[in-house]
Amino acid sequence: MELDDRLKYAKRALDGIALGDCFGQTFFVPDETACQRIKNREILNEPWHFTDDTVMAIGIYCVLKKYGKIDQDELAKVFAENYALDWHRGYGGTAHSILRSIGEGKHWREAASGVFDGMGSMGNGGAMRVAPIGAYFADDLDKVLYYARASAEVTHAHIEGIVGAMAAAVASALFLNKKLGRYFGEGEDFLRDIADKLPESDTKYKILSAASIPKDSSIDFVVSVLGNGLKLTAQDTVPFCLWCGAYFYSSMEEALWTAVSALGDRDTICAIVGGMVSLFAEEFPQQWLSYMERPEDSKFFN
């Protein structure tokens, strides 16, 4: 791909993350209210604001634009600077600790490996921001895997957090390749193709479990097997997102309504699904776009 195309697709992935993030964030209301709105397909008729999911995805996009790759030191710097600009964006407790430490001068590798008694984070944060990498390097899956891992390692030292990012990046690349007529996997095969690229991990095996769940399964059943992000871990979040993408990729709107119906970690699940599906779906819902906060209009974008 030409550089202009790489940046165009990476920006589309970023916009998909932002739309999903903004949409999902509006459903952090009591479950009964959320379920009623989902049933009625009722969106919130007021401005939608994105969270740390999009802020960190902006960081990845900007580093790709500047360097043509993921420079881990630069990415850590951008993450910490954007965090300092506005830390009231829904960052989790572990992210607060890591990004604050990096901002105070600690090396990112030490900051990331020091949490959870030295095990590192297995959270879903690496996956929520990674779609632009899948888009940028879609013509080289080895690079997708390499740079997805690199992007995750800045904050996630645990293999599960890293594999979650790798999985979401590969899915994003495959959707773009499908759009461009270079990949034809569907449903179960799509999920197995992703899993085949991943290191041994719980996340990988839950993606394989996702491959055995039919499209017409109830969301309650899917969540009971795959999770919905309530545990905030990659293995409790990414497999469900990939299942949503595998069966609802042709429509951004349908994919996001399916994603949010799992409840759980609503903004992050929708951010992951939105980033992936944006690379195949023809259009974003125009009314939704009129409500969302745009990455390029924010103080984080440069």
Q: Structurally, what CATH architecture does the domain formed by 3-297 represent? A: Orthogonal Bundle (1.10)
Give the confidence band of 302 by pLDDT, cuts at 50, 70, 90. confident
Question: If you search the block for the tokens 């499209």, which residue do you land on?
Answer: 215
Q: Report the 10 Å Cβ neighbour count for 50.
A: 28
Would you list the domain boundaries of the chain?
3-297
Cα 136 from Cα 151, distance rounded (Å): 13
Q: Percent of the chain, pLDDT > 90?
A: 96
Contacts of 108 (CB under 8 A, 6+ apart): 72, 73, 76, 98, 102, 154, 155
The reported pLDDT for the residue numbered 44 is 94
84-111: pLDDT as tens digits: 999 999 999 899 999 999 999 999 999 9
pLDDT over threshold 90, residue 57: yes
Cα 60 from Cα 138, distance rounded (Å): 15
206-215: pLDDT as tens digits: 999 999 999 9
